[in-house]
Amino acid sequence: MSLGTDADDLTLFGRQYETPDGATVIPVSKPVGVFVIKDGAPVWSPATDGTRIAMMGVLVGLVSATLAGIAMVRRPPWPDLHGDVSRRN
């Protein structure tokens, strides 16, 4: 791991290239994504993985449902009805 001032360590923008439809694409290393310039208008496109975000949501829901089920089995939220119900006069 180098903490020096290499040119590669300081590179923020990658080499730009042009697509067949005339758009210019400039990759960005920090924050991760690309700038797409088409018809003179730049557009930022972050490099996110929607599938990974959705799977994390499913995982969080599954874990919370499991923990809630375990909590219900160990100690239900309703009152304890197994007390002494005999009447004494």
In a domain, 36, yes or no: yes
Range of the domain at 52: 48-77
8 Å CB contact between 18 and 11: no
Distance between CA atoms of residues 81 and 30, nearest Å = 60
Answer whether 0.85 is exceeded by the pTM.
no
Statement to judge: residues 68 and 52 lie in one domain = yes
Q: What is the total count of domains within the chain?
A: 2
User: How do residues 44-80 score in pLDDT, each as one tens digit?
Assistant: 888 888 898 999 999 999 999 999 888 877 766 667 6
Statement to judge: residues 39 and 53 lie in one domain = no
In a domain, 88, yes or no: no
In a domain, 87, yes or no: no
